[in-house]
Structure 1
Amino acid sequence: MMILSLVTITLVLLRMTFDLDQETSTLFYNLDNSICYVLLAHLSYGFLKADDKKQYLKIHWIDFLASIPMTEHLRYARLLQIVRIARLLQHKPNLLHHLKSHYQETTIASVILLLVILLVAGSTTILMLESTAPDGNIKTAGDAFWWTVVTVSTVGYGDHYPVTEWGRTVAMGLIVCGVGTFAAVTGLMASFLAPTNKYENEVHNYHLLHEIQQLREEVAKLQQQQTTGSSKKPD
């Protein structure tokens, strides 16, 4: 979430600082709104999972405001979220262990983050490279975003394609990253859909530990009886 917040703030700053052409500015605006929906979904999920919803809203109300689409001036409120997450990371020395113990949530967050970065970087780069090419067919923000989505998903309709050498290089990188990303998504979905016997294993382990404890107590009693019997024997 911190990285996504940095991406959206960067997009807003680029639009307000530089004199971008109309299509690039439109692309940044649409990308910012798309990320807003991801952030809102994350905040809504956290709100539904929170035990104390009032406390959650008290802490994250400004994050909700900063994630409303089509309100660019509120994006700077995400600086507070970035600072809060950075301070949280400083006080979490066992962050790597926490991520490993919640590998499914970590995988989901990583895949979403990678997809957003690929869409932002890919569509921006391809628009800058191909819009100025005389024989290029990717001229608008919509064309660039559509081509990036199709390329990352490795569908490849062929209605839009890069004609420059650098554009084709970008396309190859997106294809390779897209294959890995969707392979991760497929594996994650399989792990969710596959039947799990985690609870049964926990019950089995509990009974097994209980039996081991009983055996230890019986062995200890036998050793005590043997020691007592040996001490009573005459010399």
Structure 2
Amino acid sequence: MAAYFAVHWIAIMYRPKVPEQITSFQLAVLLLSLFVVVSLTVELIFKLPPEILQILIYVDTFICVIFFIDFVQQYRAASSKLEYMKWGWLDLISCIPLMEMNQFARLIRVFRLIRAIKSISMISHAINENKASTSLHFMVVTSLMMMVFGSIYILYLEKDMPGANIHTAGDAFWWTFVTITTVGYGDFFPVTLEGRIVAIVLITTGVGMFGSFTAVLASWIMDTSNERKMEVQILEEVHELKAEVRELKSILIKQTERNE
């Protein structure tokens, strides 16, 4: 209970300024923060075997590298390094990968939760600013989540079954990737009924997601193109106004000289 109130208090106090413009990389980092919380929740709810925990550790290490890059970028961009580090140390600690599930890892989970709470308000701001770009990033992170949790579930179902050929985290990752992308090499395949149901879900979702991904990507490209056209048009109008001002200035000078 004390830990809950501590997290709640820090989350209230930790309200960093939302930037006017959120970059694509920052948006991806925010969404990955939510992904980390989901994966940690899975660890807490389910008793996972070592092979499956290894998948989460691999993914967690990769995400921590992304978090650290984001921390370095924000630290370098901060006008006051000392002011940034008043709360920036929370982001720095959340970059530490969970190599083992121990007491220290539980403490890191708390800081990950705080970072995710911060991300929610910034994501809502990003959605209002650019729906197409946010949708694109959301779909990418959702695909990553499906790959990770699909790998976990298929390994959980298949690894100890007779005749199964999916025994390791690498096997599960590879099978999930080729299934969700609808490539389907056939070198790995589920032998249980539950595993085949998972395959059907991944294939169906993959087809729909990649179709939606194409539509969102096209919309994002069109929005970007329209923004650039608008910028060019504004610049042209500014140049025209400058030319008119110079012309008016020249006329006024000539008129003044005549009056003298």
TM-score (norm 2): 0.60
Equivalence for 2:59: 31
TM alignment of 1:67-216, pairs within 5 A: 67-69=95-97, 71-72=99-100, 73-74=104-105, 76-83=107-114, 85-86=116-117, 99-190=127-218, 191-192=220-221, 196-201=225-230
> 1:7 corresponds to which letter in structure 2?
V
TM alignment of 1:10-89, pairs within 5 A: 10=41, 13=44, 18=47, 20-40=48-68, 42-43=70-71, 50=77, 52=79, 54=81, 55-69=83-97, 71-72=99-100, 73-74=104-105, 76-83=107-114, 85-86=116-117
Cα distance, 1:141 vs structure 2: 1.4
Question: Is the alpha carbon distance of 1:52 and 1:79 closer, same or farther for their aligned partners in structure 2, counting shifts above 3 Å?
Answer: farther
Long gaps (5+) in structure 2: 1-29, 238-260
* Larger Cα-atom Rg: 1
Cα distance, 1:151 vs structure 2: 1.3
> 2:187 corresponds to which letter in structure 1?
D
Distance in 1, Cα, partners of 2:123 & 2:90: 25
| Structure of higher RCO (CA pairs closer than 8 Å, 6+ residues apart) | 2
Distance in 1, Cα, partners of 2:106 & 2:73: 20
Long gaps (5+) in structure 1: 208-235
Question: Is the alpha carbon distance of 1:51 and 1:63 closer, same or farther for their aligned partners in structure 2, counting shifts above 3 Å?
Answer: closer
Distance in 2, Cα, partners of 1:180 & 1:45: 35
Measured on the aligned residues, the alpha-carbon RMSD in Å equals 3.8
Distance in 2, Cα, partners of 1:53 & 1:8: 34
Cα distance, 1:80 vs structure 2: 3.4
The answer (yes or no) to whether the contact 1:8–1:35 under 8 Å persists in 2 is no
The answer (yes or no) to whether the contact 2:36–2:60 under 8 Å persists in 1 is no
Encode CA deviations 1:197-234: one digit per residue, 9 max, x unaligned.
42443675897xxxxxxxxxxxxxxxxxxxxxxxxxxx
> 2:168 corresponds to which letter in structure 1?
T
Distance in 1, Cα, partners of 2:210 & 2:36: 24
Question: Is the alpha carbon distance of 1:74 and 1:164 closer, same or farther for their aligned partners in structure 2, counting shifts above 3 Å?
Answer: closer
Cα distance, 1:174 vs structure 2: 1.0
The answer (yes or no) to whether the contact 1:131–1:139 under 8 Å persists in 2 is yes
